[in-house]
Amino acid sequence: MADSTQRFSDRVENYVRYRPSYPVALIQCLQDKANLNRSCVVADIGAGTGILTALLLPVTGQLHAVEPNAEMRAAAARDLGSSGNYHSISATAEVTTLPDASVDLITAGQAFHWFNVAKARAEFARILKPNGHVSLIWNERLVDSTHFLISYDDLLKTRATDYDQVNHTRIDTAVIADFFAPSGFDIFEFPTEQNFDLAGLKGRALSSSYVPNVGQPGHEEFFSQLEQIFADHVRDGKVSFKYQTRLYLGRLT
């Protein structure tokens, strides 16, 4: 995990093209439950290529996109840099470089499982304004909801490099509860999905850091099996990734 900030350097374009966005209902929930509005200062931590950032910018006062990976940060700046309220910061969740008590809302989309939890909590508590909120967000693939997704998850378990070690599901409810303690937190869920042809499915797989990339050991074997899985489950030229977008929302005291 020591090199986690560099894991996606060779995945950026596939990440931009094939990773899912977030449902509109998620942003509406943050507006209703976390007082997100055009006067807010938001820190999107582990902002990556700006998937969540792009949805937050139109409803935010100032947005600090904190991301340590240079390639991902550059992709976000390329697409979002013209927005006057967008600020790209080369920093980590554990040392954001933001001032004390300067942020109304912290978001972490598909990123919290890469953080040092104790150090990130201390940093979030430092930069949050009184009564500020933290939102931890994941698009959770519903791995056992369809025969296709069961087969895809089995492939990851057998052919991916370190899938079980870095899978975000190792951050369970107990870890979240400890992070927000002694305050509580709320959970909100929203369904979403993506549909892929074979090229899109391959790109979606390659956006994951644990899938063998071109030239890496096991790449050809992985994608040979992936093609067979696609052939077994394709309907009208597509297969579907079904997700539950999960939001953990709370305050730090």
For the chain, 253 residues long, give each residue's pLDDT as a single digit of tens: 446 677 778 889 999 999 999 999 999 999 999 999 999 999 999 999 999 999 999 999 999 999 999 999 999 999 999 999 999 999 999 999 999 999 999 999 999 999 999 999 999 999 999 999 999 999 999 999 999 999 999 999 999 887 877 666 667 899 999 999 999 999 999 999 999 999 999 999 999 989 999 999 999 999 999 999 999 999 999 999 999 999 999 999 8
What CATH number corresponds to the domain at position 63? 3.40.50.150
- For residue 67, give both structure tokens: 């991301």
The answer to whether the CB of 251 falls within 8 A of the CB of 131 is: yes
- For residue 41, give both structure tokens: 């200062």
pTM for the whole thing? 0.93
Q: Where are the beta strands (DSSP E) in the chain?
A: 41-45, 62-66, 86-89, 103-109, 128-141, 185-196, 239-250
User: What's the CA angle centered on 120, arms 114 and 122, to 5 degrees?
Assistant: 165
User: Per the structure, how many domains does the chain have?
Assistant: 1
Range of the domain at 246: 4-250
The residues near 24 (Cβ < 8 Å, ≥ 6 apart) are 55
